[in-house]
Amino acid sequence: MSTYKDRIIAKLGNHLNNPEDRGVVSGMLNRLDQKYDLTRKILKEPGVEDIISELVGRIESSFGSLAAVRGKRILDIACGSNTSKEPSLLNITIPFSGRKIGISKAKGFTAKFEPWFCRILLELDAEPVGVDIGNLEGEAFEHYKVDLGLKGALDSLPSHSFDGIQDSRLFGSPEFTTQFPDGADRLRVAQEIGQQEQRLLKNEGRMIHSDAAYLLRNG
């Protein structure tokens, strides 16, 4: 019977440009398991497996290989935390398949919104920076507690200092939608984040994923 590691590698393997990336993924998953109890969390919440696949797929699609992120400084806006709650809507597409992740019936905190992207990047020898309003105490990557609903919340980060940026968790989070129930307010925050992303990204940097840009395009 295949393990979740085999399944993730199978999902990604035929699409990795660098054959060595298969071994990189296997080693990375082993380390995530040792450090963060990934196997148990996947067994409890199967959606975690899909999220890991999605995030690894984003890195490969943006940089061409997993090895290419070594030494890259990458910002994850609303990176998730150890206090993240189950959202009412989770709109993440599994790479290469178009399948959507369903919402579990569990209430309260969820492993799906732990800071997996920054953890993955750290295991790939990148230099991740995570910002979130939730608890990131004890995480090994550089992180800041930030209320992204406030104007200028990212002003302290220097301009053109990141090789890659993503935001993909803020606008569907229960905390954010409770704070900003009005769509116009969410669009205002999206505009602020979109402007900050352009300011923070290096000229040759990669926009890995931006829900703010999607929200601005589609209202």
CATH architecture of structural domain 4-218: 3-Layer(aba) Sandwich (3.40)
Does residue 39 surpass a pLDDT of 70? yes
Residue 124: name the closest of 66, 165, 60, 73 by CA: 66
Mean pLDDT value of segment 141-163: 96
CA gap 86, 145 in Å, rounded: 20
Percent helix / strand / coil, the chain, rounded to 5: 45, 15, 40
- The pTM (predicted TM-score) of the whole model is 0.87
Please state the φ and ψ torsions of residue 89, each to the nearest 5 degrees: -140, 130
Q: Mapping DSSP to helix (H, G, I), strand (E, B) and coil, where does residue 122 land?
A: helix
Query: Concatenated DSSP letters for 1-26?
Result: ---HHHHHHHHHHTT-SSTTHHHHHH
**pLDDT per residue over 108-123, tens digit each?**
678 988 999 999 999 9
Q: What's the pLDDT band for 101 if we cut at 50, 70, 90? A: very low
**pLDDT per residue over 154-211, tens digit each?**
999 999 999 999 999 888 777 788 888 888 998 999 999 999 999 999 999 999 999 9
Q: H/E/C letters for each residue in 144-209?
A: EECCCCCCCCCCCCCCCCEEEEEECCCCCCHHHHHHCCCHHHHHHHHHHHHHHHHHHEEEEEEEEE
CA 209 to chain centre: 9
Domain positions in the chain are 4-218
